[in-house]
Amino acid sequence: MNILVTGGSGFIGSHVVDKLIEAGHRVRVLDIKKPSHRQDVEFIKGDITSEKDVRKSLQGMEIVCHVAAFSDINLVKDNPLLTIKYNIMGTAYLLEECRKQKVKRFILASTVYAYDERGHLYTTSKAASELLCKNYQTLYSLPYTILRYGTAYGPRNRGDDVVALFVKKALNGENLIIHGTGEQKRNFIHVEDIAAGTVAALATVAENKVYTIVNKRSVSVKELAEIVRKTVDNQITVEYDTTRVDDYGGEIPDKSEIERQNRELGWEAGIDIEEGIRSYV
């Protein structure tokens, strides 16, 4: 199939591109920067909030994998209007052009924390994008698949999320700082598992459905710090900063529901957190 990947030069998007090409699909990337990890992919430099760029990038495409997003938690907090512009309006521009060009399906990269009651701007923007997908299906018969990813980590991660930050600090011999008690749970999933789950979602059975793309178990931030500390194996310690609480959280569907979804997709996460951290370090 001909598939457009928005944000295909980024952390998650680049791995999705890899898996799609491995599966034999023709891939086009829409991003503001050229992919650095491979040269054998069609690239359109453009902005998801530009009607002209979106229109051009969608010509001849059958499927859209919308991975592009304003996602750095600190940048999101400091730039609420940009977050709304790119994460909500960007999705709207893509959906509208998909409707006009009769794209076969729109696959949205969302988050398991989309409906966190604490209302972080990033999670709110993903919840709004999910609703837009469902509305476009109801009103205009545009098929969708929503993928609620766990917290991604792994190669090519250039961000300052907790895994990347802990690993960087540990390798530099710096102590690990936990905000809050450290009891807050996260579902950390290796980016290669996310990419494989995204490819699995191309199956017809996934049309107009929501899937939770997560690891087999969640771990607390305290547990993560201990895994990183043991993996790096140096003399660092773990410290706690109670002046700042964790940014967001959320409930993940129970194990039986995740297993049902996995069976339906023919996919499950294969890299546990200890193995993933070892390969990442």
Whole-prediction pTM value? 0.93
In contact, 144 and 108? CB cutoff 8 Å: yes
For 11, the 3-state DSSP assignment is helix
Q: For the chain, which domains are there? A: 2-153+187-215+249-271 (3.40.50.720)
pLDDT value at residue 244: 65
Cα dihedral angle (13, 90, 105, 110), rounded to 10 degrees? Answer: 60
For 183, the 3-state DSSP assignment is coil
- List, run by run, the mean pLDDT of 10-residue segments along the chain (281 residues): 98 98 98 92 98 98 98 87 97 99 99 78 94 99 98 86 90 89 88 98 98 91 93 86 64 81 95 91 78
